[in-house]
Structure 1
Amino acid sequence: MRDRVGRWPLVGREEELDSFAAALADRECRGFVVGGSAGVGKSRLAEECLGRASAAGFRVGRATASAAAGAVPLGAIAHLLPAGVDLSDPVAGFAAVAERLAAGPGRRRWVLLVDDMHLLDSASAVLLRQLMDTGVLLLIGTVRSGEPYGKAVTALRGGDAVRRVDLTVLSPGQIEELLQAALGGAVARRSLHELSAASGGNVLYLRELVLGALTAGDLTEDGEIWHLAEGRLPATVRLTEVIGGRLATADPAGRPVLELLALCEPLPLADAEDLAPPQVMAALEQTGLIRITQDRRRTTVSLAHPLYGEVLRAGLPVLRRRALLLDQAARVEARGARRRGDLLHIATWRLAATGTADPTLLTQAAVLSRHAHDYPQIVALLEALPEKHRTTATGLMLGHAFFEMGRWDQAEAAIAQADAVAVGEQDKLAVALVRTLNLLWSNAPLSEALAVNDAALNRITSPAARRKLTINEGFMRIVAGQPAQGLTLLEDLETDVGDAPDVDVWLRGAWMKPFALALVGRTGEAATWAERAHAGHRKVDEHALVSHPAVQRIPLVLALTEAGLPDEARREGERTYAELVAADSVVRVWLAVFLGRTEWLAGRPATARRWWAEAAALARSFDHTMALRPVLGGLAACAAVLGDLDAAEASRAEHRTLPPLAPGLLSAGEERLGEAWLLAARGHLGRARAVLTAAALVARSTGHLTGEALLLTDVARLGGAKEVTDRLTALAQRCDGALAPARAQLAAALAADDPDQLLRAADACQAVGAELLAAEAATAAAAAWRRAHQARRASAAAHRAAAAPARCEGARTPLLTTAQSTAPLTDREREIALLAALGNASKDIADALALSVRTVDNHLHRAYAKLGVTTRRELARTLRTPPRVPRPDHQHGRS
């Protein structure tokens, strides 16, 4: 295991490596010094530089300075000195060393790496400087920021002939690149966020965290993506020792400050100085153990690295921890608890110290936590409430917190307790609203949630309260895959949150309304409503019970995609997803679903697969079948068009194990994409079209016009253009935006088999970012021109289509592979040719298609003639049928 993560690829250091290459080529350069804090990767970069010097033909050597070796003159570099040199006279001896090192074949220059150069003894530093000045060697040295060193070592670093680079910690993007390279696969965004936050971008810390998680089985790969178990980020003994050694350098007088920060950071500077005098605080800051932040008139103190707190907390005895927490709570109370977060902090500290706190304080703190969307904190605070202090309001707050964490059963239990003490119409209404929300997302049938809503309607007489339940029903129907019906119930929703009688109910309806608008093809209105809902949510967030405001931008991604603006959808989605990951909102699963759909429609199956794998891992973690069903269909479709048929079948197999449920925000038909494209990849085009046609009818029956258009477009791509052109044209007239007309134009062009029309369709598809559709249209146009003996035009169209594999991430579809013929293949000829190219015997093809063997052979003979081939091997080569690709093997990442 340690071998796997012990030597990671070098990521994010291209600029520094370029600087070293320039130093190596410069005969006047004498040194290259790499500076930075402990663990940022100085040694790894220096080793890479040394390796490149060796590859370039330089003689190389290395030494590691240490405190022990520094106690002996020349101790760190003794093994590099030529034998027999008399160093009793340093002047003559050092000159002899230089002469001997310079000798040798070709008098090649030396490149010497000295790690931890700041620990060198003076004699070694003086000798190395002389060797540098005479041009015998180029020194690569690493030095730790903030460490003291003597004049001799300072001389090694100085002068115009020595280049210096200072390494900073890795950015989150660089961490993602590094982990993907080290683990051999994509890593879930939440896991990246946690590893990035915990390591602070420090490569050493990151490596040890990953090693600890792999060893403990908390970082696992599900066949598509790596993800951390929730709340599990174990370190290694080595990491604890490294950080412990770093903390041990602190002045003992500053230890109480470090311990208190580990429990209560950030702290006002005045509170920290109650435990240590200013000079001790200054020393802690200078050694990089604490960070001082000035925000207007407020100065706060925090630990310089998040892992310092982990190690400090682990070493605190129970009674010491209790005393620190209670003392700090008393300190804040003594100054009046005036700041907004003070009540939350006091309640949290007293609860952690004693297991209890004042009930009023706990409730107030829970409300503050709700405003911060800190759902685990809400649970901790409200579960500590004594039974007699639990109310309908606190029970619903607890139930909603469990809901936001994806813990449906615990949410229902809390809601039931709230219902048991509910009194009056308003309490009963509040319970019904939270209960229906939890039921709907926890895989319960729509009928069960509607029954709760209807029961509340039967008990409630107030017109305002009944309107809230009507909005709630609209919300539920859209969530459950009935956009047209839900939209009818939400048509008169207030356009501004300020006009709404209930903030939470308005936000609920305003979140779902743009989804419905986008799904029925009203994408312009959908985008407007999504922006309106987001602005309204930001305005009232402190008073709202519902999710993080960023969730309001999820339907915007769908609206922008269906409007033919995938680049904007992608940018919006990436930004919003990062915000929801930081908030740890489980609702982000739907954003991952829609981002995968965006990339699928853009013709980028590998990226779509990455997003859908993210969604699948998250949906499995809290048993969210509603999202998992379409995601598994999407994963299978992506794997199929990428030629990874084993992975496609694995996703299909998992899909078949799921209980049948309402489709959720997407059409039930879209979850059959994987089934259809797997059939297509195996050459069963007729069966694939039948699956897609049936799926499109399901989408049509529930009012998912954009989903129906997606499915019918795939029917056209798989040889059924003539059958779907009229319906796609009708849908284009009902859907705004540019994507629907581009789909209809493609189908019409494929049906007509007209090369000019196909190229215009390619232009239309490219304009809406549908790269794979554009490539298929251009490929079909090239084939049509070849059949018309228009070689020049065919070549131009083929050249345009040739860039498709790179832009479309290696996607291979039947339309791309069979459009190479000089005469058009019929649908039946294409289907049989693909099956034969995959290695199926004529009898097997006949059995699969319910034809006679003779009929199969006749069709195959005509296909051979049109394609200009004589054998099945030539047929497979001509059609470039993708081989069966085994699923990625990441076993090397497991212990």
Structure 2
Amino acid sequence: MSGHDSGEAKNAQTASVRTRLTPRPRLVGREMMLSRIKAELAASDRAGVVLAGDAGSGKTRLLQETSAIVQEQSGRSLTVHAGPSTQARPLQALAGAMASAGLPIPQTAAEAGGVISREHRRRPLLVCVDDAHFLDPATGALLAQLARERRCLLTLTLTDNLPTSHEVLGLWKDGWLCRLPVTTLSESQLVAVCNELLPQPVEFTTAARFAILAQGHLVVLRELISNALESGILTRNTHGMWADSGDHVGARLQQLIAPRTEALSETGKLALEALSLAQTLPLTAALQIADSTAWEELESHALAQVEEGPETAEIGLANRLVGRVTAWNVPALRRRRLLRQLLDAFSPDQHPGRREVRFTLWRHETGQDVAEGELLASARRAWWSRDWTTAHALAEAAWRSHGSPAAGLLFSKILSHEGRQAQAHSVLDALASSPDPQVAVAAQSISSRAKIMRSLPVAEEIGEPLGLLPDALTCSPQKPDMRSAHTLVSSDLDKAVHAFISGDCRTAWGAAQPLLDDSDPLRVAVAGAVALPALLKMGRPKDCLGIAPRLQWAMQNLEAADLPDYEILNIPVLTCYAEGITGRRTQAVARLRTLAREAAASRNTTLASRAGLVLARLLFEQGDVAEAHRLFCSAGGNDDLPLVQQFSRAGEVITALHLGEAHLKEAAQLRLEPYVNDGPRPVDIDLALAACDMHDGRRQSAVKRLTEAGRSALEHGALGELSYVVHALTRIGHSETATVLCAPESQDIQGTVDRIRIAFAKAVAAGSAKDVAMCAEMFEQAQTPLYAAEAWAVASRLRQLAHEPRMATAAARRCAKARRGYHGFPTFLLYAVEEREPLSNREKEIALLAAAGHTSQEIAQRLVVSPRTVDNHLYRIYRKLGVDNRRALRTLLNQHSDAQ
């Protein structure tokens, strides 16, 4: 590493250490739980609730939120922190809490009860007890008495599977308190928490790995992020996102798992180490490592779990984090000894699939002489089984041990898909200087194709057309040369790639289509990777599904021949998206989640980010604006392909506007700006810029921008993109302009929602309430609640104009029902029927100050809040009142004053 690089790394690590996690991030995924708590506290037959769950599941945070709810309702709370140190002394924890709250310090339980009763009579008092299983019997008995006599409200937290006194158990067993189970958060919710804990977005692959390791526990998640910051592996990348650069287990994580492992016997610890290295073991192999007592010990401590297989039982890790920390801390010599034991423990018939791949890696780690061909063959098998971490390790071992062109080319592809472009190009540069001209051309070919995809200039000194790799460098030595009879004439493929990058999807499809009938599966697969996005832009997802069997044939043949090519990884992602927009949305979302999770767990950042972006678009249309926004923000964090960055940044802007948060919108616009003119501009950029124009009151600018984008899409045959433009124009009140763009060929659009968009524009332009209502119902069936609500809003307005009040009211009710599925801010069309929300007292105060000419900074100083808080309030005020700026706000308030 050069001195400059070393300095940059040191600065990045210093910045990471200085970064502090948000002490109290926004609550995620607990909305229903808080509603239930509020209802139980208001119930006349209950004195409160008990929040019970696993350690680290977020019970303490819910306790804090419950306390805040009571205080907002003019009540008062008293928080008691119980623990092992207070358990032996009666009333110690309660007395300490009362003293901190400025209440008289009680000497007896009767005195404590009297003080609490008096305070509750003055105004509602909520007694919050954290870790109530540590309460002493005297305090437990007092709380039981207070609950029976309704002398205060109570909220307690309990950790499951820990001993609890009879007095505390009686609180909910006797029905005085309602016991509410606090379940662990889902992985997608923990990804959201990651982005709340740090000041900038967390790259999707990094956040997903943290979420997988945390297994739903918030405390574990905080420690994982803190450990990564302290070790310097979590830093901000070139896109301004937090991304980890590897694995590191510091003291924090070791201390976190210590209570789970320190009580194990020596044989139990040995068994855990072996299992952590192997991940899974057949029971027969496990018993050769340690006796059954050791494995039963791990099972009793919830560190191992047994799954019955068709032939033999399998023992696997029950806790990923414990396995990761344990494997990291195994000393080098003992690791070698354990790996040799593992190799000896398996019989020859126990080496199928992924386990055989891992054996190759173990043999290399233990110093055995592993042939290059075996390393590369195992790397390719790992790639096809989606174990990209093992594929990386094997390819790297082959490259460092043998340095051959085949190893270097495979390793460079793996590095590229992990987002490590600099390392990938370093390997390719080494190969490009090879004295073998075939090797040099192959390396230059890969680099040049990457430059085409990234819209960068390509060196002209390459002696032959860009194409796939020479046969001798890519085929497995154990497999026949599937492509010896076909040398790819790359001009067709290059033409398809160039056309697609420049936005001409019709030409791209025309160039790629003939290659789909080729007998060479690699040629078919790579052509398919261009054909699918081109067809999607053209509005032909059914045709995507039509060529899917052909692409599946190609991938199966490539797998059989051990010929991985990373350009084809987009095929399953785009096929899922095609399924989603042709009516199988639920299945597509589930498959994309699985694909993104597998890729993130194995550090395939490119596949994970692209699956995440496609998932974000489907989720946004389903109404889940917040998760879509998080995915748009964090996906693509290590992907430097301009199209991916443009797509993700545009999506971030649009979802930020739908969330109604001014600071999110400002941040998104800043992140979009560098990509607006970064190569050919896709329609997503114009949609985002037009949305910003509308938000800032520049409607004519939005109309002009969208009209030009629509004409460009029509020119290139991008009918799928055209449907988005037509819909956007209709949604801002310009359906007539939209219908002008609906050329006759728009009838050939295949996507379910795309067809409804076109039909909706035509129905609105024609003023047909019946047809608009029909579109609304179709939007509902397509699981797009926002679009359905907007269509019902238009139908209601048209019914009112036609003097049909009953049908107008019915449509308004349907609008409100559909609106409940959209978790975002009201849009332009929804204001047609939605009643304007009244301003809160704080919003009225800020509105009057702003109308009087005060700046945000002046208002912030007067109200003792931050300027950003003022801007957020102003943003909501503008949306509620239907104005765009302070001048319009002043005019509206003056008119209202005159009317009064």
TM (norm. structure 2) is: 0.69
Matches within 5 A, 1:293-692: 293-312=307-326, 315-316=329-330, 320-329=331-340, 331-333=342-344, 339-340=351-352, 341=354, 344-349=357-362, 352=365, 359=372, 362-385=375-398, 389-415=402-428, 434=446, 437-444=449-456, 453=465, 464-467=485-488, 469=490, 472-473=493-494, 476-477=497-498, 479-480=500-501, 481-493=503-515, 501-530=519-548, 533-534=551-552, 537=555, 541=559, 543-547=562-566, 551-560=570-579, 563=582, 570=589, 573-583=592-602, 584-598=604-618, 602=621, 607=625, 611=628, 614-615=631-632, 617-639=634-656, 651-652=668-669, 654-658=671-675, 663=680, 668-692=682-706
CA drift of 1:250 comes to 1.7
Unaligned runs of 5+ in 2: 1-18, 99-106, 473-482, 835-849, 854-876, 887-900
Cα distance per residue 1:280-335 (max 9 Å; x no partner): 4433432334444443444454554233244445655xxx4223324422551575
Using the alignment, how far apart are the partners of 2:786 and 2:628 within structure 1?
Answer: 18
CA distance in 1, matches of 2:462, 2:618: 31
The answer for the alignment partner of 1:87 in structure 2 is none
Q: Of 214, 219, 227, which residue of structure 2 is paired with 1:199?
A: 214
Q: Report the CA distance shift for 1:409/1:356 in structure 2 as closer, same or farther (over 3 A).
A: farther
Question: Which residue does 1:243 correspond to in 2?
Answer: 257
- Report the residue type matching 1:190 in the other structure: T
* Structure 1: runs of 5 or more not aligned: 83-95, 821-837, 842-874, 885-895
Q: Deviations over 1:452-507 (max 9, x none)?
A: 645889999x9942457467446524652332223223334557xxxx64333322
For residues 45 and 812 of structure 2, the distance between their equivalents in structure 1, rounded to whole angstroms, comes to 51
| 2:639 counterpart letter in structure 1 | F
Report if the CA contact (8 A) 1:592-1:612 is conserved.
no
User: In 2 relative to 1, CA 355–636 (structure 1 residues): closer, same or farther, beyond 3 Å?
Assistant: farther
Partner of 1:853: none
Cα drift, residue 135 of structure 1: 9.2
In 1, the alpha carbon distance for the partners of 2:399 and 2:237 equals 42
1:880 and 2:882 matched: yes
2:231–2:250 Cα contact (<8 Å) kept: no
Q: Report Cα offsets for 1:543-573 as digits up to 9, x if no partner.
A: 3403498742332355356657766765554
Partners of 1:530 and 1:556 within 8 A in 2: yes
Matched, 1:287 2:301: yes
Please state whether the residue corresponding to 1:229 is helix, strand or coil. strand
Q: Is the 8 A contact 2:697 2:884 kept in 1?
A: no
AA at the equivalent of 2:332:
R
**Distance (Å, rounded) in 1 between the aligned partners of 2:150 and 2:878:** 61
Tell me, yes or no, if the aligned pair for 1:745 and 1:761 is still in contact at 8 Å. yes
Percent of aligned positions that are identical: 20
Alpha-carbon distance between aligned partners in 1 of 2:44 and 2:831, rounded to the nearest angstrom: 52
Given the alignment of the two structures, is residue 256 of structure 1 paired with residue 270 of structure 2, yes or no? Answer: yes
**Aligned pair in 2 of structure 1 residues 390, 523: CA closer, same or farther (>3 Å)?**
same
Q: Is the 8 A contact 1:775 1:804 kept in 2?
A: yes
Q: Which amino acid aligns with 2:497?
A: M
Report what 1:703 is aligned to. Answer: 717
Q: 1:707 offset after TM fit, Å?
A: 1.7
Measured against aligned partners, the alpha-carbon deviations of 1:587-633 in whole angstroms (never above 9, x if no partner) come to: 34344444455566x495x72x8546634544342322221124333
- The aligned residue for residue 898 of structure 2 is none
Give the aligned residue type for 1:502: D
Q: 1:781/1:16 Cα in 2 relative to 1: closer, same or farther (>3 Å)?
A: closer
Larger radius of gyration: 1
The change in CA–CA distance for 1:158 and 1:544 in structure 2 (over 3 A counts) is: same
Q: TM-score, normalised by structure 1?
A: 0.70
Residues 73 and 283 (structure 1), Cα distance of their counterparts in 2 relative to 1, 3 Å cut = farther
2:746 match: secondary structure: helix
The one-character-per-residue Cα deviations of 1:91-130 (angstroms, maximum 9, x if unpaired) are xxxxx98888887897999999987787889x87998999
1:208 is matched with which residue? 223
Q: Distance in 1 between matches of 2:393 and 2:373?
A: 15
- Deviation digits for residues 176-208 of structure 1, max 9, x if unmatched? 566577679986643442222222223332232
In structure 2, the CA distance between the partners of 1:627 and 1:261, relative to structure 1 (3 Å rule), is same
Matched, 1:175 2:187: no
CA pair 766-165 structure 1, distance change in 2 beyond 3 A = closer
The 2-side partners of 1:791 and 1:253 are apart by 79
Q: Quick one: distance in 2 between partners of 1:781 and 1:272? A: 67
**Are residues 297 and 34 of structure 1, via their aligned partners in 2, closer, same or farther at CA, if it must alter by over 3 Å?**
farther
Amino acid at match of 1:403: S
When the two structures are aligned, how many residues end up with a matched partner?
Answer: 800
CA displacement 1:118-154 (0-9 Å, x = unmatched): 7889x879989998999999999877667789x9999
The verdict on how the C-alpha distance between 1:447 and 1:555 changes in structure 2, with shifts beyond 3 A counting, is farther
Judged with a 3 Å threshold, the aligned counterparts in structure 2 of structure 1 residues 819 and 453 are, in CA distance, closer, same or farther, namely farther
Residue in structure 1 matched with residue 891 of structure 2 by the alignment: none
Shift of 1:401: 1.0
